[in-house]
Chains A and B, each alone.
Chain A
């Protein structure tokens, strides 16, 4: 029998039982659609996180106490502004070094209040972390040196405290201490579910005085170029280790952060895809079941085809193609459904979703393989039927 002929016969058989074929396909459709959708969500999340990490600024080196690894508890920082000066000497360019000491605090303006993160920083922050202002100005060296009580508000803080007024020049109470608003950041949006516009920048000296501390949480360095970033990190860590022999320090690059995050999200995506794959497997069992029913129902047809010259292989191929058609048509429909749902989710919800070609190819390939795997047994059974017995069946 010619292959084209075999496809036509298989398609006719599916058409003859439209409802049953559709219901059988539904199992495969749901399986493939969920694989495509969940992989899209996983991939979308990963891409968005990567964008945001890269959006922090290029050639960034983050120096923190402790090790940066999944599952490690944060370490109380022994770093002070003196250590920052030492790091600056290693780097050789004060404009490339930023620090932060952060804490949650209530910001108050008149009757309105907003719980936010107050970050004590150097005037170098916008240059190191690629931040831009919507209004006003950023902190200056003088602001930092003189512990001036001035603040730059994140977009959401500005909206919460001054919904109907220009915040510039207004007073804001941070943890009960008055600061003057000198600027407002351009909005950044969300990252990993965190509102990045919910923060207030003040001079690091003012922040330390506010909380009565000498420490800084971490140091960020913008390396001059990508090639020397690792070497620079080692030199900074060596200098800090010399100054604080009891504490371990880490200098991590964006690439390393991306690697760690990518691993976590990759595992997550894999787990989601595997769960969806189980439903695809269940769909495959349904296909196998229906094919066995189909073989039994058409025993006489098989007997007749054999009587007029169909070889066992012809019959087997016919039923195998039927199973493969069920799963591939189901697979294509499921792909369309999965892509459509992913695009809807991406557009209408905060969950990002990105379609990747490999997930489509994988879903389609798996559905075709499911058809072959779960079609083989019924097909073999059909091919081996004894024509004499088959013709006698009523």
Chain B
């Protein structure tokens, strides 16, 4: 438990500063697997502001997914302080966590996770069910949201009657129907071919720009990551690079920034092994050091010193080919 960090009064922003959508301070997460503790996160600090567009990148096993689950209130940190929508997660019981997720977080998953045998509009309305909203109201709001993602004509289609891109749009509509402050997308284009994926990405960016919902996206795709206003790179359970959001720094309109290489600003936790050694999530702890040394591949996925644009084209072609071979977009409305 990083007690000093949790008690830090940084949680109260000075007047004039925006209230953070999510604030993580020295957050760690340790799993117990067959009696062995595995440190998936070891002291991550970051703040997501309303309207942010963040790409979370890093190799497999770097802790991206664990961080996503924590940021979305699906899981609890084993150390540190995590404040979502102004509420300290450690102080919330499971039912309160559920309500918090319902009110402040929208999830988009790689595998869509739509309910089968359930129409698009009912899938989108699902989060509203847990608000006790009437069926008529739910349908109205869900239909309006489907209209915003361009599926106003597919209200009563079922997932198996829709293409992958359409299904992901339904999932996006479901994530946003509650008007959350943060949209968490876990590889949202991972199961889509490149053209469909690009369209879904554009939709997410458009919704981020229009509604001011913060967009936090886990991705492996360098090209996708390059479009974000801020990139957070993780490795071995810590944040190794966090580019600042150019909008917050320079107050520029967000539309101009799409595709621009983000300026890299070293984050406080960029050099974790030397910078802070008090928490249990650090190599000074024997088990943690062992896990870090043996459990991770020293694979270089992210190169913070290179401009992402330079690396993008070749990567993108390779990925496009692979994606195209993996999944063929089905034409919609065949049934």
Contact = CB atoms under 8 A, between A and B. Distances in A.
B312 to A, nearest CB: 30
Contacts of B94: 311-312
A307 B74 contact: yes
Interface stretch (B98-106, B233-241, B245-253, B290-298): B98-106
Given A301-B115, A388-B75, A308 B130 contact: yes
A388 B77 CA distance: 13
A28 B131 CA distance: 35
Given A1-B130, A391-B113, A309 B103 contact: yes
B113 A310 contact: no
A309 B174 CA distance: 12
Nearest to B171: A304
Given A300-B113, A313-B95, A305 B132 contact: no
Contact of B174 (A16, A306, A308, A314): A308
A209 interface: no
Nearest to B97: A311
B72 interface: yes
Contacts of A309: 98-99, 101-103, 127, 130-131, 178
A387 interface: yes
Interface string A291-330: 0000000001101111111111110000000000000000
A5 interface: yes
A307 B102 CA distance: 8
A307 B101 contact: yes
B75 A391 contact: no
A387 B74 contact: yes
Nearest to B127: A308
A55 to B, nearest CB: 61
Interface in A343-394: 386-388, 391
A306 B95 CA distance: 10
Contacts of A388: 69, 74-75
Q: Which of B107, B109, B129 has the most CB of A within 10 A?
A: B129
Contact of A308 (B69, B117, B126, B135): B126
Nearest to B135: A5
Contact of B113 (A12, A16, A304): A304
A242 interface: no
B99 A2 contact: no
Contact of B99 (A300, A303, A311): A311
B129 A307 contact: no
Contacts of B131: 309
A1 B72 CA distance: 21
Interface residues of B, number: 25
Given A308-B126, A309-B102, A2 B132 contact: yes
A376 B91 CA distance: 28
Interface in B174-189: 174, 178
Interface residues of A, number: 23
A300 B75 CA distance: 16
B103 A308 contact: no
A308 B109 contact: no
A311 B115 contact: no
Nearest to B126: A308
Contacts of A307: 72, 74, 101, 107, 113
Interface in A231-259: none
A5 B98 contact: no
B302 to A, nearest CB: 24
Given A1-B129, A301-B115, A388-B69, A311 B74 contact: no
A286 B185 CA distance: 40
Nearest to A304: B113
Interface string B51-86: 000000000000000000100101100000000000
B95 A391 contact: no
A305 B126 contact: yes
A289 to B, nearest CB: 23
Contacts of A314: 98, 130
B95 A311 contact: yes
Given A2-B132, A387-B74, A310 B109 contact: no
Contacts of A2: 129, 132
A387 B126 CA distance: 16
A47 B205 CA distance: 79
A310 B99 CA distance: 8
Contacts of B69: 388
Contacts of B95: 311-313
B72 A310 contact: no
Contacts of A16: 117
Given A309-B101, A312-B98, A304 B130 contact: no
A137 B69 CA distance: 99
A27 B218 CA distance: 49
Nearest to A394: B111
B212 to A, nearest CB: 21
A102 B180 CA distance: 94
B132 A1 contact: yes
Nearest to A390: B74
Given A310-B98, A312-B98, A388-B74, 15 more contacts: A2-B132, A16-B117, A307-B72, A307-B101, A307-B107, A308-B101, A308-B107, A308-B126, A309-B127, A309-B178, A311-B94, A311-B95, A311-B98, A314-B130, A391-B74
30 contacts: A1-B129, A2-B132, A5-B129, A301-B115, A304-B113, A305-B126, A306-B98, A306-B101, A307-B74, A307-B113, A308-B102, A308-B126, A308-B127, A308-B174, A308-B178, A309-B99, A309-B103, A309-B127, A309-B178, A310-B130, A311-B98, A311-B130, A312-B94, A314-B130, A386-B75, A387-B74, A387-B75, A388-B69, A388-B75, A391-B113
Closest 8 CB pairs of A and B: A309-B102, A308-B127, A311-B95, A309-B130, A311-B98, A304-B113, A387-B74, A388-B69
Interface of A: 1-2, 5, 12, 16, 300-301, 303-314, 386-388, 391
